[in-house]
Structure 1
Amino acid sequence: MFIDRAKIRIRGGHGGNGVTAFRREKFVPRGGPSGGDGGRGGDVWLVADSGLNTLLHLRYNPEHTAERGRHGEGSNRSGREGEDTLVRVPVGTQVLDAETGDFLVDLAEEGQRWLAAKGGRGGFGNAHFASSTNRAPRYHQEGSAGEERELQLELKLLADVGLVGFPNAGKSTLISTVSAAKPKVADYPFTTLEPHLGVVDLGDYRTFVVADIPGLIEGAHGGAGLGDRFLRHVERTRLLLHLVDVSSGSGRDPVSDYEIINRELASYDPQLAERPQFVVATKLDALDEPERLESLRRRAREDGREFFEISSVTNRGVRELVQAVARE
């Protein structure tokens, strides 16, 4: 199950209390104060982990608290510091303040750490308060509470290439053809309900990552269909492959589909609409009206975009497309 949003509550460990104690030793009738300080509470850290690809583990485990510091002891012994708590998140997770919506950090690199909540300070024991005028203080300091906050986590997948287009345009078939990813493929809209990543091997240890997101429909930026919920997963991509079904079986006009998707991208984020984009005509094996293909080709040229025609079923044009993406 793919979860790309989660809300968590984190709390730094409480600082340990200081202690009131006096030295008690044979032949030392007035040993003086010997209360140790409390240990500081543990911190809560968020850590980017490439072994994770979903926030599912945090959806059902939203509370994270670091260990509290130990109390001080007699004989000037300080309490042990609390253990830090590590909250592992997928690489590409953005962190926002759940109350204000303020952006806090983008964990975009493997192993990147961010201090989410500091532990509380340990309290002073009575030995700390001894002075020339107060040789035997009978008080100590309590430890302070750790920081507490609620965070909204949003995952944006890291990919080089993003696939966009109407439902059933052939996006999942293409990614399953060029990579080892195996999304569900079927002849009906919205077969893909969650994003998929596929790694394309170019040989000589060269690869690029492709993101397949659920199909868009008109009004997606306003919440129609699956809405724009998954569009953020292609925000980080360097190139968009805009797949358009040119077969007459779709019952739609390819040029109209092309224009609608680009309007949706511009409505969601104008920068996304300006991203380099290849226009890819799909399902050539089912093409029965060549004019549908030619009209889309003319429209893509008007926009100054490279045009490709493929059939993922017969592999026609797929190799040329992959090579062009690699050059880009």
Structure 2
Amino acid sequence: MLRQTSRLCVSRLCTFPVKSAKYAGISTSRVIIDDEDRTEYIRRRKTEWKRKQGGQTFLDHLIVTVRAGKGGNGCAAFHREKFKPFGPPSGGSGGRGGDIYIIPTSSLTTLTSVPKRVHAQPGGNGQGTWQNGRNGDPTIIRVPLGTVVRELPRDDPRTSPDEWETEEESLEGLDYETKREKMRERRWVHYPRFSEANQERDSFKEAEAALYNEERERRFERRKKQMNNPIFLDLDTEEIMEDNTNLPLGQRRAESFGYLIASGGQGGLGNPHFLSEVNRSPKFASRGHEGERVTLSLELKILADVGLVGMPNAGKSTLLRAFTGGRTRTEVAGYEFTTLNPIVGVVRVGEDGSFEGGLSTGLVHDETLTEEQLEQERHRRGEYAHALTRNQHTSRTGHHFDLLETFRFTVADNPGLILGASDNVGLGHTFLRSMERALALVYVVDLAGPEPWTELRVLRDELDQYQPGMSAKARMVIANKADLLGGDGDPVLVEQAREKLRQLEEYVRTQMIIPGTRHRLDVVPTSAKFSQNLSKVVGLMKDYVTEAREAKRRMELTSRLF
């Protein structure tokens, strides 16, 4: 044992838990790996750790099985009091099962808090002296804004069986008599010691036949609704609609609950409901119905006015930090896939065109500076006095400034896009889903790279392969990291940089033409690290967002009129 340990120390091999397919055939829980595999293991663990936000893993797609509450059972009882030893039937009916609603909430940014299985409360059972059971409380599922809710079809393998299919599976392989006995146990409540006698009465057989007919009709209506009108909700606003129970399932909305997606089962009937001229003493009651069972697909598409599209390490996170004046603490580092989760920042624009990030012109947005160093940098450059003079503000919090804001829009920083992202290579679909809702897209390329126009072609092709026509949302090309060109003012290097920029502009003018649109892509060289030429970028983004919002508003007005 000592000899083996010494050999491991000399060869610098380490042991790690086996969690990859590479070592799937090894039976032991730990395996000796070399330095290369150890580096890969550490990188994978670091990536998973970084994908956690606030202790929760970012989640943008989820399958949820919803089960509304079961109705309470009816009661088979008879009224008894002094001088009335044989009173009338007095069993109460069961309460209705709890409904399930879904509502968008702006305070959530991920689907992590949504459980994969949701069960609503059942209704209370009926009791003697005509006491009905209480209704089950409604269950509310809260999801982030931008969530798309779809009901999975019955033929989808991810769909859970409904109440009838569950019963059929439990009865599979049993003989006829045993099946009938178990089906009756699920549907009927008998007065003590009258179970066998009730099954021989014609009144019970008639009630049983009526119950089966009702179940068949209910099942047919459910299947018809799932085929012709499945649940589809686009939860992009928090507006509260007035209650309208006449709308179909999936579109009804209560004042404070949200959209109804699964109705609770009806409560069972007490024995007074089976009272007739032929049967004056019914000694049976029905059990509550099962609640609706629905399998939903939740897909989160982040709502942002402008989406930054670029290769890994193109400077998107640095741009967002510069736009927001450092309020959005995106991670910035010198390696690829630094951003693993979509992050949305708010850009605040003043009446004179100034923006919050512009109050700190000259500030270096770099990962090597701490908060104390950032504060010292602002003091050294006199940014406080500059901001007070330019925007006439009277208060500030920390090192952020309150300008006279007249317009705001949101910008989304997303994981880097690579070749094959439309086939879910890298973080492809996670990134692309978050871009579908953006009003405008902005390409971010590394101007210091060898061929930035090649990056543009890959970005455009991946967008269109994922969703045809998606690249038509692009409005601008940001040629970032322009500060790396030109050296220290050498005329030859400066001219080479200008020529490279001219080649990029020519490529955009001739090759990045968007069919069916009147606008052309603007090309703006910037240095996000040093906040250079960002005022022009913010001004153009403001124009894009204003135009897109106005077009969207016109479309909504037209749809309401017609």
Provide the TM-score with structure 2 as the length reference.
0.55
Shift of 1:205: 4.5
* Equivalent-residue separation in structure 2 for 1:161 and 1:255 (angstroms): 21
Q: Is the 8 A contact 2:306 2:442 kept in 1?
A: yes
Pair 1:295 & 2:503 matched: yes
* Equivalent-residue separation in structure 2 for 1:98 and 1:186 (angstroms): 41
Pair 1:273 & 2:471 matched: yes
SS at match of 1:86: strand
What letter is aligned with 1:237? A
**Count of aligned residue pairs for this structure pair:** 323
Give the equivalent residue in structure 1 for 2:413.
212
Which of 300, 305, 308 lines up with 2:521 in the alignment?
A: 305
Shift of 1:84: 1.0
Q: What 5-or-longer segments of structure 1 have no aligned partner?
A: none
What letter is aligned with 1:301? R
Give the equivalent residue in structure 1 for 2:103.
47
Give the equivalent residue in structure 1 for 2:149.
95
What letter is aligned with 1:23? H
Larger mean CA deviation between 305-314 and 111-120 belongs to: 111-120
Shift of 1:225: 2.6
Larger mean CA deviation between 153-162 and 125-134 belongs to: 125-134
Which of 89, 99, 106 lines up with 2:234 in the alignment?
A: 106
Shift of 1:232: 1.2
Give the equivalent residue in structure 1 for 2:140.
86
Which of 316, 334, 346 lines up with 1:199 in the alignment?
A: 346
Larger mean CA deviation between 148-157 and 30-39 belongs to: 148-157
Pair 1:147 & 2:348 matched: no
Shift of 1:29: 4.0
What letter is aligned with 1:306? D
Shift of 1:83: 0.8
* Equivalent-residue separation in structure 1 for 2:469 and 2:93 (angstroms): 55
* Equivalent-residue separation in structure 1 for 2:231 and 2:456 (angstroms): 33
Give the equivalent residue in structure 1 for 2:119.
65
Give the equivalent residue in structure 2 for 1:241.
442
Q: Is the 8 A contact 1:47 1:111 kept in 2?
A: no
Shift of 1:227: 2.3
SS at match of 1:228: helix
Shift of 1:13: 0.7
* Equivalent-residue separation in structure 2 for 1:47 and 1:62 (angstroms): 16
Give the equivalent residue in structure 2 for 1:286.
484
CA 111–136 in structure 1, closer or farther in 2 if over 3 Å, else same: farther
More strand by share: 1
Pair 1:222 & 2:423 matched: yes
Pair 1:317 & 2:533 matched: yes
Q: Is the 8 A contact 1:18 1:35 kept in 2?
A: yes
SS at match of 2:469: helix
Shift of 1:150: 2.6
SS at match of 1:115: strand
* Equivalent-residue separation in structure 2 for 1:227 and 1:236 (angstroms): 16
Larger mean CA deviation between 66-75 and 95-104 belongs to: 95-104
Q: Is the 8 A contact 1:169 1:282 kept in 2?
A: yes
* Equivalent-residue separation in structure 1 for 2:406 and 2:108 (angstroms): 23
Q: What 5-or-longer segments of structure 2 have no aligned partner?
A: 1-51, 53-57, 159-229, 241-257, 351-404, 487-496, 514-519, 545-562
Bigger radius of gyration among the two: 2
* Equivalent-residue separation in structure 1 for 2:531 and 2:287 (angstroms): 71
* Equivalent-residue separation in structure 2 for 1:95 and 1:176 (angstroms): 32
Shift of 1:301: 2.5
Give the equivalent residue in structure 2 for 1:30.
86
* Equivalent-residue separation in structure 1 for 2:84 and 2:418 (angstroms): 85
Which of 59, 75, 81 lines up with 2:129 in the alignment?
A: 75
Question: Identity across aligned pairs (percent)?
Answer: 41
CA 199–56 in structure 1, closer or farther in 2 if over 3 Å, else same: same
* Equivalent-residue separation in structure 2 for 1:182 and 1:98 (angstroms): 38
Cα deviation per residue 1:2-32 (whole Å; 9 max; x = unaligned)? Answer: 1112222221111000001111122334321
Q: Is the 8 A contact 2:78 2:91 kept in 1?
A: yes
Larger mean CA deviation between 35-44 and 312-321 belongs to: 312-321
